[in-house]
């Protein structure tokens, strides 16, 4: 690394270079820039797409109802990966606090055990009220981690109980975490969520009903999915670590299936679309933020007084964005 001054090291080019070199501080800095919607963040991510080897990393999505043990299990997976000598990054998407709009950092505070380990990188982020289970910047943050040499990126979705299908567009393997006693029928029926599972983890297997839930799950999938792959059902106890090794093996078997069947190409295409969507949303947020506050409050005022309907107001704002774009270039 060159001994350039601090200012120079903050350019997108130097940050990208340092990230590829595995510099944790550069990685943390770039994630913050991305989270804050800083314009240079897009440049960093795009430099990484051009210069880093992003094909070897595997994204593992962890989804499921709140309280199922997603955070605990994600942490246990990280521990397991470390034992196998693999580096692991973890993204925890928290629901935005309704009061502060920020992430409730409870998850981060409850995940001890990896501090001081350079092979682990954990980041909590708020979903900012965004629906779908991820935050608008998740895809970008995962790319940054990937570029920094984390070949495994584990992404835990919000877990609001809504159908969180967005993760299917980002992860190679989606683990659906279920637990006995959360109203099994309701869990299973939740539209759209069962279909995205590549592996089922029946967590809290230390509790009654886990084996029953696992066999119900197995019975419900006598017809294997269209690509000829039947998701495995693995019993885990995230607290004790029981079954977590088997879960990791099942995740790897699913990945091997993706590679052998050629489906990995489909996964990568979906991921590119998800990244495109995230980038577009970021640009749009920035464009909205670029509207002069007096213009914004004028439109809001007219909206409240019903002088403008929401559709005309949207059109007015859109025209302002376009005018800004033309003026700004």
- How many angstroms separate the CA atoms of 238 and 205, rounded? 9
If binding is defined by CB under 6 A, does position 171 make contact with ligand GDP? no
User: Any residues with CB less than 8 A from the CB of 23 and at least 6 apart, and which?
Assistant: 1, 148
Residue whose CB is less far from ligand GDP, 27 or 171 = 171
How many residues bind ligand GDP, per CB under 6 A? 15
If binding is defined by CB under 6 A, does position 127 make contact with ligand GDP? no
Residue whose CB is less far from Mg ion, 41 or 68 = 68
> What are the backbone angles phi and psi of residue 201, rounded to the nearest 5°?
-110, 115
Note whether 50 and 42 are within 8 A (CB): no
Instruction: Give which of ligand GDP, Mg ion, none residue 67 binds (C-beta under 5 to 8 Å, depending on kind).
Output: ligand GDP
Nearest CA to 40 out of 28, 49, 31 is that of: 31
Instruction: Give which of Mg ion, ligand GDP, none residue 61 binds (C-beta under 5 to 8 Å, depending on kind).
Output: none
**Cα 296 to Cα 204, 269, 301, 303, 310, distances in angstroms:** 50, 37, 9, 11, 13
If binding is defined by CB under 6 A, does position 58 make contact with ligand GDP? no
If binding is defined by CB under 6 A, does position 68 make contact with ligand GDP? yes
If binding is defined by CB under 6 A, does position 66 make contact with ligand GDP? yes
If binding is defined by CB under 5 A, does position 205 make contact with Mg ion? no
Report CA torsion sign: 217, 208, 60, 164: positive
If binding is defined by CB under 6 A, does position 61 make contact with ligand GDP? no
If binding is defined by CB under 5 A, does position 71 make contact with Mg ion? yes
If binding is defined by CB under 6 A, does position 203 make contact with ligand GDP? yes
Instruction: Give which of ligand GDP, Mg ion, none residue 135 binds (C-beta under 5 to 8 Å, depending on kind).
Output: none
In the chain, the N- to C-terminal Cα span, in Å, equals 34
Nearest CA to 177 out of 213, 152, 212 is that of: 213
User: Any residues with CB less than 8 A from the CB of 146 and at least 6 apart, and which?
Assistant: 52, 54, 57, 89, 153
Residue whose CB is less far from ligand GDP, 31 or 238 = 238
Shortest spacing between CB 218 and ligand GDP, in angstroms: 20
Instruction: Give which of ligand GDP, Mg ion, none residue 204 binds (C-beta under 5 to 8 Å, depending on kind).
Output: ligand GDP
Residue whose CB is less far from Mg ion, 17 or 156 = 156
Note whether 8 and 15 are within 8 A (CB): no
Q: Name the residue whose CB lies closest to Mg ion.
A: 71
Residue whose CB is less far from Mg ion, 74 or 267 = 74
CB-facing half-sphere around the CA of 318: CA atoms within 13 A? 6
Binding residues (CB under 5 A) for Mg ion: these are 70-71, 107
Chain residues that interact with ligand GDP, rule: CB under 6 A: 66-72, 159, 203-204, 206-207, 237-239
């Amino acid at each position: 690394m060159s001994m350039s001054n601090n200012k120079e090291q903050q350019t997108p080019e130097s940050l990208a270079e340092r990230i590829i070199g595995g510099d944790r501080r550069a990685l943390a800095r770039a994630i913050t820039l991305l989270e804050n919607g800083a314009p240079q963040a897009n440049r960093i991510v795009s430099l990484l797409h051009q210069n880093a080897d992003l094909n070897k990393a595997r994204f593992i999505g962890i989804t499921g109802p709140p309280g199922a043990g997603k955070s605990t299990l994600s942490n246990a997976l990280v521990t397991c990966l470390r034992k196998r000598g693999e580096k692991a990054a973890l993204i925890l998407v928290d629901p935005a606090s309704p009061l502060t709009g920020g992430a409730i950092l409870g998850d981060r505070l409850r995940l001890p055990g990896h501090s001081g380990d350079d092979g682990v990188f954990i980041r909590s982020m708020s979903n900012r009220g965004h629906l779908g289970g991820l935050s608008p910047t998740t895809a970008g943050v995962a790319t940054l981690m990937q570029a920094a040499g984390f070949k495994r990126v584990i992404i835990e979705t919000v877990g609001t109980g809504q159908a969180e299908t967005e993760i299917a567009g980002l992860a190679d393997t989606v683990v659906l975490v279920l637990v006995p006693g959360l109203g099994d029928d309701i869990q299973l029926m939740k539209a759209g969520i069962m279909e995205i599972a590549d592996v089922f983890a029946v967590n809290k297997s230390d509790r009654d009903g886990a084996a029953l839930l696992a066999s119900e799950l197995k019975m419900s999938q006598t017809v294997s999915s269209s690509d000829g792959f039947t998701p495995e059902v693995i019993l885990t106890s995230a607290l004790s670590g029981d079954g977590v090794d088997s879960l990791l093996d099942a995740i790897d078997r699913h990945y091997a299936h993706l590679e052998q069947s050629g489906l990995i190409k489909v996964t990568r295409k979906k991921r590119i679309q998800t990244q495109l969507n995230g980038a577009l949303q970021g640009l749009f947020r920035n464009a909205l933020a670029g509207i002069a506050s007096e213009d914004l409050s004028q439109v809001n005022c007219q909206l409240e007084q019903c002088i403008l309907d929401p559709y005309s107001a949207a059109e007015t704002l859109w025209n302002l964005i376009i005018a800004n774009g033309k003026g700004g270039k």
